[in-house]
């Protein structure tokens, strides 16, 4: 059975987020950029890893909407 996009995305986030409370907030639908305490370099690495994993580039004009929540990110990657 293949893993869901959401599970794959969550696994990538777990590589960058060590705080379990932050991960719980993220998985609960909190906004990604405010739920997580990632610095700019970690955010860049995270988004790059997602782009490589899914073979899809983020559009700089809509990235804030795409990264609104794990669900909006998953919907973008599945589109």
CATH number at residue 59: 1.10.1200.10
By three-state DSSP, how is residue 1 classified? coil
How many domains in the chain? 1
pLDDT in tens, 16-59: 999 999 999 999 999 998 889 999 999 999 999 999 999 999 99
Residue 46 belongs to what domain range? Answer: 5-78
Dihedral pair phi/psi, residue 58, rounded to 5°: -80, 140
Helix axes 40-54, 5-16, angle to 10 degrees: 150
pTM, to two decimals = 0.89
Q: Return d(Cα 19, Cα 16) in angstroms, integer.
A: 9
């Amino acid at each position: 059975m293949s893993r869901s996009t959401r599970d794959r995305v969550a696994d990538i986030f777990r590589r960058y987020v060590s705080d379990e409370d932050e991960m719980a907030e993220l998985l609960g639908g909190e906004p990604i950029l405010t739920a997580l305490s990632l610095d700019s370099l970690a955010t860049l690495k995270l988004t790059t890893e997602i782009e490589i994993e899914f073979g899809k580039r983020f559009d700089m004009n809509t990235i804030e909407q795409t990264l609104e929540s794990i669900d909006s990110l998953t919907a973008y990657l599945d589109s």
